[in-house]
Amino acid sequence: MRMYPLLTGLALFVSVHAVAADEGQGSVGLQSEPALIQVFLGVLKLDDDTGEWDEISDDNVDVDFSSLPSGGIEAEFPFYQGFVHWGLNPGGSIAWKSDDTNFSGRVDGETGGTVRVDIDNSLFIGELHLGGYVRGRLTDRITTYAAAGPMVIYGYHEVEDESLEDADGTVVEDGVDLSETDSSDINLGFYGRAGVDFEIRDKQHLGFGIRYMSGELDFNKTVGELDVEGPQYVFTYSARF
């Protein structure tokens, strides 16, 4: 939620700046310019959370999301064109890592002490979205944009490794008897994106941006309901075809 005011502020800035400049520029007819296609690569940093998984913890399970390599594609179909463009923004992204998503809990050991349980997981996040965007020029070669809307989000995790330690740090040889080692879910959420593009040649741009996703996934076979939200920092390449 912390990113919503930032994205809204960026969108408002673009709109005010670009509309003011547009008064002296005039507008271009609808669909006189092809859609902009943007591909991006970056890192998704999800906020840590807590869940419930009775088989690995008598209390809440601490969920430590690692940084996930990610990438995706965006499209911008203009409904209005001029010094400012606004229109429809479909797109999608994926993020995946084979380890380092850690579930940690504590259970009572056979001798009465507390045993720390660490579960190392692979995690996959995919989403498709459809929102609105606004894009305006800061200079002849620099544009800035913001977009937001609903998304469909899918998540899947699978246990890769597990470890147990006594309170004194001694490794416990016995493993955890898990009835399920993976779980998935699909749900609705919200996305936002904002960034700056620098024109490197006619109709081609390089840039950087920040994206934000927020949703809830219920891994009901394992760790339960988790809030999946956080920023994504990306480098972008955009072109009109």
pTM tops 0.75: yes
Residue 120, pLDDT score: 83
Residue 152, pLDDT score: 98
Res. 177 pLDDT band, cuts 50 70 90: confident
Residue 1, pLDDT score: 44
- Separation between Cα atoms, residue 106 and residue 4, nearest integer Å: 35
% of the chain residues with pLDDT over 90: 45
Which of 2-6, 40-44, 171-175 has the least mean pLDDT? 2-6
- Separation between Cα atoms, residue 120 and residue 53, nearest integer Å: 14
Residue 153, pLDDT score: 97
Q: Which two tokens stand for residue 152?
A: 């469909």
Check pLDDT > 70 for residue 9: no
Residue 19, pLDDT score: 43
How far apart, in Å, do the first and last CA atoms of the chain sit? 35
Check pLDDT > 60 for residue 24: no
Check pLDDT > 70 for residue 222: yes
Check pLDDT > 60 for residue 144: yes
9 backbone dihedrals φ, ψ, rounded to 5°: -65, -40
Check pLDDT > 70 for residue 165: no
**In the beta sheet, which residues pair with residue 193?**
147, 211
Q: Which residues contact 23 (CB under 8 A, 6 or more apart)?
A: none
Res. 55 pLDDT band, cuts 50 70 90: confident
Check pLDDT > 70 for residue 91: yes
Res. 11 pLDDT band, cuts 50 70 90: very low
Residue ranges of the domains in the chain?
Answer: 4-240
- The mean pLDDT of 33-45, rounded to a whole number, is 93
- Of 217, 193, 4, 57, the closest CA to residue 124 belongs to 217
Q: pLDDT tens-digit profile of 116-141?
A: 777 788 889 999 999 999 999 999 89
Q: Which residues contact 36 (CB under 8 A, 6 or more apart)?
A: 75, 76, 135, 238, 239, 240
Overall CATH class of domain 4-240: mainly beta
140 backbone dihedrals φ, ψ, rounded to 5°: -65, -25
- Of 13, 2, 1, the closest CA to residue 194 belongs to 13
